[in-house]
Amino acid sequence: MVIVGGGHNGLAAAAYLARAGVSVTVLERLESFGGAAVSAQTFAGVDASLSRYSYLVSLLPSQIQEELGLNISLASRRYSSYTPIPGGSAGLLVDNQDPAVTEASFAGLGASGDFSNWKKFYSATQELASEIWPSVLSPLRRRSAWRESVSNPETWQKLIERPIGQAISEAFEDNLVRGVVYTDALIGTFSSNRDETLNANKCFLYHVIGGGTGEWNVPLGGMGTVSKELERAAIRFGARLVPNAEVERITSTDHGVTVHYQEGGEKQKIAADLVLANASRQELARIVEQASITNPIPSDSKIYPFGSQVKVNLLLSRLPRLRDESVTAEAAFGGTFHINETFSQLQLAFEAASRGEIPDPMPCEIYCHSLTDPSILGPELRKSGAQTLTVFALHAPHSLVADLSEAQHTLIRGRLQQAVLDSLNSVLAEPIQDLLLRDENGDPCIETKTTRDLEDALRLPGGNIFHEPLSWPFAEDDEPLDTPSQRWGVQTNLKNILICGSSARRGGAVSGIAGHNAAMAALEILEQGLSS
């Protein structure tokens, strides 16, 4: 068995297959494994290990951790979120441990009625999550079977059948509250508040089903610990991991697959019964000799389904002071800090980006990893009070950077970074730039990644963190489920090549689900081959 791509899903698949006694080789283009789930010392000479691309974990099943013996610790955050009123000196604080604090915050916002609406809405989503979540490591069920079996058909209708923005508008009255809820439908997804494609619904669903609760946790030690544990598991079970192996061509016949790759300047090839591709379908189509992998991306699409985000990492001397003096910086940054993400601002930002403009203000959300997990900082930085901030800006579609020269891209990256800083400063009592630490070269500790950067570094098509549009975690009623790869949602249109990454059904995010499911399909195929 050959796995092309050593991201976290490829490592999960390798571990499961090797655990079952299958001979597995993982070919990774880069010098290290983990793909987008990695940590790095981002700033020269600064002892801070930042989660460079992905940053939080919700969708990694405990079953995978237990079966593979992964030593991964995920820390809960006391605060769910803080959202300041744009241009004001107050905001909404959601405290997971103290409902009275949350209720008082809703009241201070003038949205007392939405506190009960909030509890009702998320009680319904958690009920649906608790039913769907246990199925993600099982063969796909059909839409009609799910629709008929869920406890609350009304919740199914609102979250699955109708635009999620409509359901949120009906459930909540306050513009800011609506925006906070809708952001979970927009992470990496370019959709309006009235998205009729239901792509926003799929994004929202995956954000609320993790663990059956929708809670997003901080990986202690940084995101790289997740991939390192999966790498150790794969090696422990006997998988062979080959870094710096650039796959150039895959040939498929009825008798097997041959993978041609280059390692250390020398051309190599390896034959296998099956290939599992931990890469996008677009990348797979490029290297499969028959060029017969179905490409799901419409050729005339200029914006969606490509990526739509900018990620900014910052290292600060301390947390900034807020305009809202009623909330401590530790509470505000202890969860997800939403900035300029009211419901109306999100729509205006979408419309601006659709016109090819950088939204002003830029909708942003911030995570402070070091508040929950100081271990990512060296002893001196911890002692000094330094903190990391990860900013994820929405509605920055790939069209803004796609067809630019490198010099133009550098210019636009700088403008996007400034838009993020301006958005942050609009709710702070002091400029964020004044708190940036400097690296050993005297440069400020700030790093910005556009969709173009993700495409160049990780070969994510259009910088799409999901590889392609998310799919429902179930099969449509007319969808064929005749083969193991179809039943597990990992099929291509070549029987001996499977998808084991984010392009798989139930792929996307740091979860290992796609890797597990591809391995299960592969084991079924091998068993059928031996018995036939």
Per-residue pLDDT averaged across 280-285, rounded? Answer: 90
Res 530: pLDDT: 56
Task: Give the closest residue to 177 by CA, choosing from 38, 97, 81.
Answer: 81
Quick check: 182 and 170 in contact, CB under 8 A?
no
The rounded distance, in Å, linking the Cα atoms of 530 and 532 is 6
CA 513 to chain centre: 13
Cβ neighbourhood burial of 33 (10 Å; 0-12, 13-18, 19+):
buried
Res 532: pLDDT: 45
Res 289: pLDDT: 78
Res 290: pLDDT: 62
Local structure of 469: helix, strand or coil: coil
Res 252: pLDDT: 87
Per-residue pLDDT averaged across 327-335, rounded? Answer: 97
Cβ neighbourhood burial of 192 (10 Å; 0-12, 13-18, 19+):
middle
Tokens of 400: 């803004």
pTM, two decimal places: 0.96
Tokens of 485: 């790869």
pLDDT tens column, 418-462: 999 999 999 999 999 999 999 999 999 999 999 999 999 999 999
Per-residue pLDDT averaged across 490-504, rounded? Answer: 94
Q: Does domain 2-37+223-296+468-531 have CATH number 3.50.50.60?
A: yes
Q: Give the residue range(s) of CATH 3.50.50.60 domains in the chain.
A: 2-37+223-296+468-531
- Pairing type for strands 336-339 and 79-84 reads parallel
Tell me: pLDDT of 303 over 50.
no
Cite the beta strand spans of 7-56 per DSSP E.
25-27, 39-41, 49-51
DSSP letter, residue 158: I
The rounded distance, in Å, linking the Cα atoms of 17 and 267 is 26
Cβ neighbourhood burial of 396 (10 Å; 0-12, 13-18, 19+):
buried
Say whether the peptide bond before residue 163 is cis (omega within 30 degrees of 0): no
> At which residue do the structure tokens 């963190």 appear?
465
CB 174: neighbour CB atoms within 10 A? 20
Tell me: pLDDT of 296 over 70.
no
Res 301: pLDDT: 44
> At which residue do the structure tokens 């809202």 appear?
324
Q: Within 13 A of 70's CA, how many CA atoms are on the CB side?
A: 29
Band (294; pLDDT cuts 50, 70, 90) = low
Res 171: pLDDT: 98
Bridge partners, 142 (sequence order):
475
Local structure of 3: helix, strand or coil: strand
Per-residue pLDDT averaged across 316-339, rounded? Answer: 97
